[in-house]
Amino acid sequence: MDERPVLFFDSGVGGLSVLAAARALLPRMPAVYVADSAGFPYGTKSEAEIGARVPALLGRLAERYRPRLIVIACNTASTIALAAVRSALDLPVVGTVPAIKVAAAHSRSRVIGVLGTDATVRQPYVDDLAAQFASDCRVLRHGSAELVALAEARLRGDPADPSRYRAILAGLFDQPGGDRIDTIVNACTHFPLVEHELRAAAPHPVAFVDGSAGIARRIAFLTEGQAWPVIAPPGLAVFTGGVSDAARLGDALAGHGLTTVETL
């Protein structure tokens, strides 16, 4: 029996959407979830800041928790620091990238929206994905730090005015050609946590896609043949900063099997 965990890493609680998909596919998976609350939010930081912080922090986490695999459950951290993390660590590292390929396969209007953080939507990596998988599509982008905050607040139980979601989506739909968007990529792992609110706020029906299911399949592939506990042990949630919000996040964490909380 191998109790080494899979370590999920994000700037906040957005990566819980990825953990949920992985748990659905691998119910016996031991898990450690790390929220870099001391560095939150990533989307407003520079590439240099994220490129220096993430590899160093994941090196410490790998030493402390001895995971069998690390999932960077954050689009911003992945598009900037994934290569550096893989070079620094001698274990499998799975990243999270905008699901533009999935959106292009789904879209009929051939106009796709990419909704992410400011740091993610400006990355050349997104240009490359669009050129490779959606060359016949119009790909419109919008970055929103506010939507990250709304997702964090929702998990704490704080309500939000629906007009805030409508205003955020207007950043996509009000662009030239935006009225033809039929598929939106949730290019931040926080955003699936408020997908219901986004659907309700959209000016016309659209599909929302993200990469969580693909990440879960990748974890399963990389751990194929490895032993798992008979029953998944209680999961651990780790915050790099204060845990003042941990009590308010208790139900959400427990709902994802994370019953113990500690500070790094």
3-state helix, strand, coil in the chain (%, to 5): 45, 15, 40
* Two tokens, residue 100: 């533009």
Q: Are residues 136 and 89 in the same domain?
A: no
Classify residue 22: in a domain, yes or no.
yes
My answer on whether 199 and 105 are in the same domain is: yes
Is the domain of 40 the same as that of 120? no
Q: Does 1 map to a domain?
A: no
Determine, yes or no, domain membership for 217: yes
Say if 69 falls within a structural domain. Answer: yes
Q: Which of 210, 228, 254 is the last residue of a domain?
A: 210
Q: What is the pLDDT of residues 99-111, one digit of tens each?
A: 999 999 999 999 9
The catalytic residue among 99, 188, 237, 249 is 188
**Residue 200 falls within a domain, yes or no?**
yes
Shared domain check, 224 and 132: no
pLDDT digits (tens, 9 = 90+) for 188-204: 999 999 999 999 999 99
Entry field: residues in the chain = 264
- Mark whether 188 is an active-site residue: yes
Statement to judge: residues 136 and 237 lie in one domain: no
Of the candidates 175, 177, 176, 170, the one whose C-alpha atom is nearest the C-alpha of residue 203 is: 170
Per-residue confidence (pLDDT) for residue 2, from 0 to 100: 85
- The residues that bridge with 112 in the sheet, in sequence order, are 139, 183
CATH code, domain with 137: 3.40.50.1860
Are 165 and 238 part of one and the same domain?
A: no
Q: Is 137 a catalytic residue?
A: no
pTM, to two decimals = 0.93
Give the residue from 210, 237, 253 where a domain finishes.
210
* Same domain? 60 vs 33: yes
* Residues 82 and 114 both lie in one domain: no
Shared domain for 20 and 79, answered yes or no, is yes
Same-domain status, 115 and 32 = no
11 domain residue, yes or no:
yes
- Please tell me which residue in 29, 31, 74, 216 is annotated as part of the active site: 74
| Residue 93: predicted pLDDT | 98
Distance between CA atoms of residues 6 and 139, nearest Å: 33
Q: Which residues form the domain of 161?
A: 100-210
Question: How far apart are the C-alpha atoms of 191 and 173, rounded to whole Å?
Answer: 17
Domain count, the chain: 2
* Maximum separation of any 2 CA atoms in the chain, in Å: 56
Same-domain check for residues 116 and 80: no
Q: If you average pLDDT over residues 4-33, what whole number do you get?
A: 96
Query: Which amino acid is located at 251 in the chain?
Result: D
Residue 241 contacts residue 38 (beta carbons within 8 Å) = yes
Contacts by 163-169 with C-beta closer than 8 Å and gap 24+? 165/194, 165/197, 165/198, 165/200, 165/201, 166/201, 166/203, 168/115, 168/142, 168/144, 168/201, 169/115, 169/198, 169/201, 169/202, 169/203
Q: pLDDT tens digits, residue range 60-97?
A: 999 999 999 999 999 999 999 999 999 999 999 999 99
Computed on alpha carbons and rounded to an integer, the radius of gyration of the chain in Å comes to: 18
Q: Are residues 188 and 199 in the same domain?
A: yes
- Domain membership of residue 177 (yes or no) is yes
Whole-number average pLDDT of the chain: 94
Q: Which of 195, 210, 225 is the last residue of a domain?
A: 210
Locus of tokens 């879209």: 107
